[in-house]
Structure formats: C-alpha cells, structure tokens
A and B are shown apart, each in its own frame.
Chain A
Amino acid sequence: AQSVTQLGSHVSVSEGALVLLRCNYSSSVPPYLFWYVQYPNQGLQLLLKYTTGATLVKGINGFEAEFKKSETSFHLTKPSAHMSDAAEYFCAVILGPFYTGTASKLTFGTGTRLQVTL
C-alpha cells in the first residue's frame, strides 16, 4: 500500500520568501514521486518528478524537490516566491521500478494551497 501526507492544507508566504511545501510518503517498494500544481481555473500540471537517479530534481517555474529515502520525504521548495505561484500543490506517488503491474495509479496527497502576499 502507498500513501502520501502533505503537512499543512494552507501555507502563506511573503513575495520573495522561501517556499517549502512538505510531502511524506509511505510505500512498500521504492516509489516514483511527483508534484502537480493546479492554478485557478486550470487543470493539474506536472511540476516535477523523481523516478531514479539524482535525488534533487528541478522542475518548472524555479521549483525543485529532493527525494530523501531515509526521511521518506519529497518536499517542494522555491527560493523566492512570486505572486504567480499562488495555487494548490499536490504531491503524488506511484509504485516504482519493482512494480510489475500494468496499471498506473497515482496516489495523491490532500493538497496544499499556497498563498503569496505582498
């Protein structure tokens, strides 16, 4: 079984401040990890993903996330928040390379709404 926990349903930061959105996962096998973002009135958009290799992954719009196996975490960060980053962010996991099934079911967290203030 796999699950995703996102700490904080709402996070507020000032423009220019560090953005840190937390995600912890549990998975019976090494996972693939994703961050999706939903801007107002838009669909979910992939920000970044970790599959294998380098544990620090960079995504669009200056976001990055680091896979830490020892902490079962995949926190999302951005050094300097911009007003346009206001959106809802979802962490997701899928069973990783040891999964031999054909289905591809993402398991999502409950989402974190990011507010950016002046």
Chain B
Amino acid sequence: EAGVTQFPSHSVIEKGQTVTLRCDPISGHDNLYWYRRVMGKEIKFLLHFVKESKQDESGMPNNRFLAERTGGTYSTLKVQPAELEDSGVYFCASSQGPGPLAGITGELFFGEGSRLTVL
C-alpha cells in the first residue's frame, strides 16, 4: 500500500513567486494535515482537513497560504507570493480517524516532506 506522497520533494523559488505543494494521502484516509518545520525549529501545525472540509486552519500563518482538498482526495498548499520566511519543510500527514487518537490505528502517517527554499 502506498504511503503519503508529497510533491515536489524540493522547490527553490524567488521571493514573490508562487509555489504549489501537493499531498496524496493514503487511500481511504479522510483526515489530512499540513505541518511545517522552519529551519531548526519545531514542527508546527498548519491545518486539518476532514474529507474536503477545513476542520481547523488555525495554524495557517497568513492569507498568502491557501490550502485546498477538492473531492476529498489529494490536497494542495499554495504560497503566493512567497516570502523568505516561508522557507522550510512542509509535511503532510493523513489518518483514518481524527488525528493521532484515531480509534483504529491511533497513528498519523507522514509524508517525506516538501522542502521549500525561497531566495
């Protein structure tokens, strides 16, 4: 069974440009999360989808970030326009139940992350 896949693995863009990150969750997982790790700091929550609905987007830093999950399958995270402080690794995770307390496996499955470098 395929795990959580993220694309691209690494993106280098200039300040002011637009980047779109994609996440394909594990098939059948209704819950999809985005997290971000800025260099050397902690991994921080960005938002949580349940199917196509945004359950919690309290971690989104500002309105330059737009996340979508049309059809409740894959998700995209667009940064427009990108700023220097947006550089970091963006992780996607999915689970069958509501997060790490899911009744079935109790586990979030993470992708390898998309490294974004803004110059």
Contacts and interface: CB of A to CB of B under 8 A. Distances in A.
Contacts of A49: 100, 106
Contacts of B88: none
Interface stretch (B13-21, B43-51, B60-68, B75-83): B43-51
Interface stretch (A12-20, A65-73, A76-84, A99-107): A99-107
B42 A104 contact: no
B116 interface: no
A89 interface: no
Contacts of B56: 102-103, 105
Contacts of A45: 110
Interface residues of B, number: 29
A104 B101 CA distance: 8
Contacts of A44: 43, 91, 93, 108, 110
Nearest to B95: A104
A110 B100 contact: no
Contacts of A42: 112
Given A94-B101, A104-B99, A43 B4 contact: yes
Contacts of B55: 102-103
A108 B108 contact: no
